[in-house]
Structure 1
Amino acid sequence: MTVFVDTSAFLAVLNADDRFHLAASRCWEELISTEQRLACSNYILVETIALLQNRFGMEAVRVFENDVLPIIDILWVDWDTHSLGVSALLAADRRNLSLVDCTSFAIMRQSNMRQVFVFDVHFAELGFEVIPK
């Protein structure tokens, strides 16, 4: 089974000051030790790297690139998936829902993924199994 990883989880694992850091670190260690297959989209990568660079600097980006990305399967958003995400975003008409989230929902549905490592309520609202619980 593949677990989709959201930006919120990456940031919580990498930032010791994040309010979810302890739960995220424990979950990350369990996922790694049980050799779960982990995946995210290229949109998640762009969002995560931009936030790491802005909040913590280039060293945080290097750690992410060198230590985290080698164990993540990258799922590339194609035009059709992007279009599904845009349609979902516009239909939802919610300011606090992002295009990155909407493309993540589309990828997870297309790939029959149910579990997501996330600290974002939108995934649970749409029926995905959120970890940690």
Structure 2
Amino acid sequence: MALTELFLDSSFFKALIDDRDEFHSLTKSTIDAIEKGVYKPVSTNYILDETLTLIRIKSGLDKALQFGNFLRENRLNMRVIRVHAADDAAAWEWFIKDWSRLSFTDCVSFAVMKRLALTHVATFDQHFKRAGFTIAKPAPTKSA
């Protein structure tokens, strides 16, 4: 049986690293599923950049370094996709839809997921559902 590739979004990473985040406890079941081989984790260099910056601003340098070391050790055996120029161009088509609070990084994620035929995402961001992707359970989502 082939593993389902699971795209990991910055909202998932932020909740994972911040034990005060309202969704922190929900990330544990997804990590368990990854460690048990249910999912093969995938993300992009844009998501990792966004997450490191977000964690540093919201939680401080120590938490950002903790997350950076977690990534560098690659304990999840995560595939990191480098964004192509064509992904940026496709992302622009999503971005001009002008959905409420839609970030360009989300648009790039949509473009990469479409290019790689990824359907499942670990996120707490409803924009992914609106864009046609399946939000991995059991994690509920918060409104965008």
Task: State the TM-score, normalizing by the size of structure 2.
Answer: 0.84
2:50 corresponds to 1:58: no
State the partner residue of 1:22: 25
Q: Which has the higher helix share?
A: 1
Alignment of 1:1-40 (within 5 A): 1-34=4-37, 36-40=39-43
Cα RMSD between the aligned structures?
1.5
Q: Cα offset for 1:56?
A: 1.6
Q: Deviations over 1:66-119 (max 9, x none)?
A: 2245132111111110111122101x1234111111111111111011110111
State the partner residue of 2:132: 127
Q: Cα offset for 1:22?
A: 1.1
Select the residue among 78, 82, 85 that pairs with 1:79.
85
Q: Deviations over 1:1-25 (max 9, x none)?
A: 2110000000111111111111112
Select the residue among 86, 98, 101 that pairs with 1:96.
101
2:121 corresponds to 1:106: no
Task: State the TM-score, normalizing by the size of structure 1.
Answer: 0.90
Distance (whole Å) between structure 1 residues aligned to residue 39 and residue 66 of structure 2: 21
% identical equivalent positions: 27
Paired residue total: 132
State the partner residue of 2:142: none
Give the 3-state SS of the residue equivalent to 2:22 in structure 1.
coil
Name stretches of at least 5 consecutive residues in structure 2 with no aligned partner: 139-144
Q: Cα offset for 1:124?
A: 1.1
